Amino acid sequence: MDQVDPSQMPPDEATVNEPARTGTALVHAEYHLFQITDPQGPVADDLDTSRTGLVSADGGAIEVATGIHTGDVRVTVESHTRRPAPARGWEEIAEISCHSLSGELLVTPFMDDPADLPSLASQGPGSYRLRVHARGRDRAVDHTTVDEVVESYLIQSWPAAHQDASLLRATDAYGAQVRDQPADDTIVIDREDSLDIRVGRERDILRRAQRGEYS
């Protein structure tokens, strides 16, 4: 995937706007991921993680790929009314579009309740763009225990029409490894399998196991 140089964005697409609604919390990652979900159902069509190496969509949820297999990562969210400038000092930056039915886009551990963070759907139901920044994914790749939090993420959101996923910055080794993996087969999203329903999550785990993702 071609990278997008943030410095080449048109002025109206890289402008610092109003103060964001923000929050920071530790989020538990499992199986190399945490999610962004809507309580009422799917938020995006499936997009393989090999596209950006950082953010993807599976089973109706947005997924953020972590270097650590299992453990806490530090996540900060910023909800904007207009497209903000990408933040500086991050190793990987990627964007993905999504749609919120309920007006709630929540950072969520894979098999747990949403984290104590503000919703990323600041303007209620509708279409949003998510920009995910990552740092520290190479420090504890595949580890299941760490003595301290080594990975940090910043997720910016703003209302925007759907666009293809894009990779803005790619410098860590873990992202390159993920992008080199073959793309998975397309999976049809069943609304009844929405990830807020336990049966949907159980089916998602089974599907992932069949695809060999749990290693």
In a domain, 105, yes or no: yes
Residue 207 lies inside a defined structural domain of this protein:
no
Query: Residue 27: inside a domain, yes or no?
Result: yes
Domain assignment of residue 12, yes or no: no
CA distance 5 to 73: 27
Query: Can you read off the two tokens belonging to residue 207?
Result: 């599907």
Q: Is residue 188 in a domain?
A: yes
Nearest Cα to Cα of residue 63 among 187, 192, 160: 187
Q: What is the CATH number of the domain that holds 74?
A: 2.60.34.30
Convert 85-106 to b/e letters by CB count within 10 Å (16 or more is b): ebeeebbbbbbbbbbbbbebbb
Closest by Cα among 169, 151, 177 to 68: 151
Q: Which domain holds residue 51?
A: 18-199
Tell me: the pLDDT tens digits for 33-72? 999 999 998 999 899 988 999 999 998 999 999 999 999 9
Of the candidates 104, 86, 106, which has an alpha carbon nearest to the alpha carbon of residue 167? 86
How many domains would you assign to the chain? Answer: 1
In order of 37, 39, 211, 212, 214, the CA distances from 206 in angstroms are 19, 21, 9, 10, 10
pLDDT, tens digit (0-9, with 9 covering 90-100), for 108-158: 998 889 999 999 999 999 999 999 999 999 999 999 988 899 999 999 999
